[in-house]
Amino acid sequence: MISFRYILLAFCIILVQNLIAQNLEFKGQASAWVNFNPNNDLKLWSGARYLPQLNFKLGEPSKSLFDFEASANLNGTLGTLPFDKNYTDGSIKPYRLWARYSTEQLEIRAGLQKINFGSASMIRPLMWFDQLDPRDPLQLTDGVWGVLGRYYFLNNANLWMWVLYGNENPKTWEIGNTSQRQPEFGGRFQMPVPKGEMGISYHHRLSDTNNLDTLVTLNDMVPENRIGLDGKWDVGVGLWFEAVWLNKSKNVGNFTNQTSMSIGTDYTFGIGNGLNVIYEQLLFAYDQKPFRINDPFIFSTLSLNYPFSLNDNLSAMVYYDWINKGVYNIVTWNHQFKNITLYCMGFSNPKQYKIPLTANDMNLFAGTGVQIMIVFNH
């Protein structure tokens, strides 16, 4: 009897090991870059980053699937003025750490994850939980801790519900830290409409405004609610809009209300391999009164993208700040090898960098310079 139990145990161990090996995947992304900007005190910067990623899947998406993802962000930076002074920095932190259960119509994901939605593509009022910069070749963004549930209806409508906890620092568009004692929560409903789709989104949190320069002094957390509306249509050209109103339930001066709106369009011209053009217009303002627009930020953005071949692509982005009369330009050429991508970027921007809500350390891109990046995916 004892020997049979040992045989059975060994069989189970081998079975589990084979099952894990068949459903376990390891991959990663390594990148290195060099930036030269004569406008900086440290004119030459370089850095390296590695994103190791482990995935496990069990089941089939058409029935029921359990999967898991864990990844880390390991990066280091060196800034130097040759033969004079140096600056170094680095960090190791979790990048994604979530588990998910999903069926054909239902998905529940818990942990450190990316949550993003909306119709705009460059400067997005609905960029509530991510910091994706369209100019970033790696498309990096920190995640948020929480639980996200999504249900997909048979008519292509979908319902999102989320609860976030443990995300103290302000996220995109937020003023003031978030309470560590109370969870955040919200949801989104998206539905098809003729020639497109529309969505409505809501989020609630408790905001710490004690460190803000406001008209009143508050000694407690302030409830904050935001609601967003967006839509996207294909009518020969792509058309979309996003609009968000954020309100704090107590008077905190000009930070009491926040209004942001964007409209955009895109079209691919039949020139050569196809020239894709995207244009967006953003208006953003704070005020003590709701929907009052005083001293707004106004940005126009233009994106051009042309594929020379399957392996070569040229893109350009221009941002125009109507208030400060600043023009931001970046041109990127990339070439795809087998597992390696080479990016060459040239930029010309104001020395005082005022584009809101960008994920990278934009001091490196203030002024005029070049950056070269190599990315290896395995």
Q: How far apart are CA 141 and CA 230, in angstroms?
A: 22
Distance from first CA to last CA of the chain, Å, rounded?
Answer: 48
**Domain tally for the chain?**
1
pLDDT in tens, 83-131: 677 878 889 999 999 999 999 999 999 999 999 999 999 989 999 999 8
pLDDT at 213: 56
Q: How far apart are CA 239 and CA 194, in angstroms?
A: 13
What band does 15 get if pLDDT is binned at 50, 70 and 90? very low
pLDDT in tens, 197-243: 999 999 999 988 766 655 455 557 889 999 999 999 999 999 999 99
Mean pLDDT of 264-290: 93
Position 96, amino acid: R
Q: Are 148 and 108 in contact (CB under 8 A)?
A: yes
Q: How far apart are CA 205 and CA 163, in angstroms?
A: 10
Enclosing H/E stretch for 29: strand 24-36
Is it the case that residue 286 has pLDDT exceeding 70?
yes
pLDDT in tens, 350-359: 887 777 655 4
pLDDT at 347: 93
Q: How far apart are CA 233 and CA 44, in angstroms?
A: 44
3 state SS of 19: helix
CA 275 to chain centre: 25
Q: b/e per residue, 247-282, with b = 16+ CB within 10 A? A: ebeeebebbbbbbbbbbbebeeeeeeeeeeebebbb
pLDDT at 335: 97
3 state SS of 358: coil
Enclosing H/E stretch for 75: strand 64-81
Question: Global pTM?
Answer: 0.88
Q: Are 129 and 146 in contact (CB under 8 A)?
A: no
Q: Are 293 and 280 in contact (CB under 8 A)?
A: no
pLDDT at 291: 81
Poorest-pLDDT segment among 43-47, 268-272, 281-285, 316-320: 43-47
* Phi, psi torsion values for 357, nearest 5 degrees: 65, 45
Of residues 157, 162, 106, the one with CA closest to residue 129: 162
pLDDT at 359: 46
Is it the case that residue 147 has pLDDT exceeding 90?
yes
Is it the case that residue 1 has pLDDT exceeding 50?
no
Q: How far apart are CA 208 and CA 168, in angstroms?
A: 10
CA distances 20 to 24, 41, 56, 226, 248, Å, are 6, 51, 8, 43, 49
268 or 41, higher pLDDT: 268
Q: Is 83 exposed, middle or buried (0-12, 13-18, 19+ CB in 10 A)?
A: exposed
Of residues 34, 91, 2, 142, the one with CA closest to residue 370: 34
Position 40, amino acid: N
- Among residues of the chain, what percentage have pLDDT more than 90? 62
* Phi, psi torsion values for 23, nearest 5 degrees: -110, 5
DSSP letter for each residue of 292-354:
--SS-EEEEEEEEEEESSSSEEEEEEEEEETTTTEEEEEEEEEEE-SSEEEEEEEEE--SS--
Three-state SS for 142-158 is CCEEEEEEEEECCCCCE
DSSP letter for each residue of 38-70:
TTSSS-EEEEEEEEEEEEEEEEETTTEEEEEEE
Q: How far apart are CA 55 and CA 327, in angstroms?
A: 42
pLDDT in tens, 171-200: 888 888 888 888 999 999 999 999 999 999
Domain that holds residue 278: 2-377
pLDDT at 19: 53
Of residues 261, 257, 274, the one with CA closest to residue 310: 274
Here the CATH number for the domain that contains residue 31 is 2.40.160.100
CA distances 136 to 7, 122, 197, 332, Å, are 55, 11, 27, 10
Token readout for 65 is 């699937």
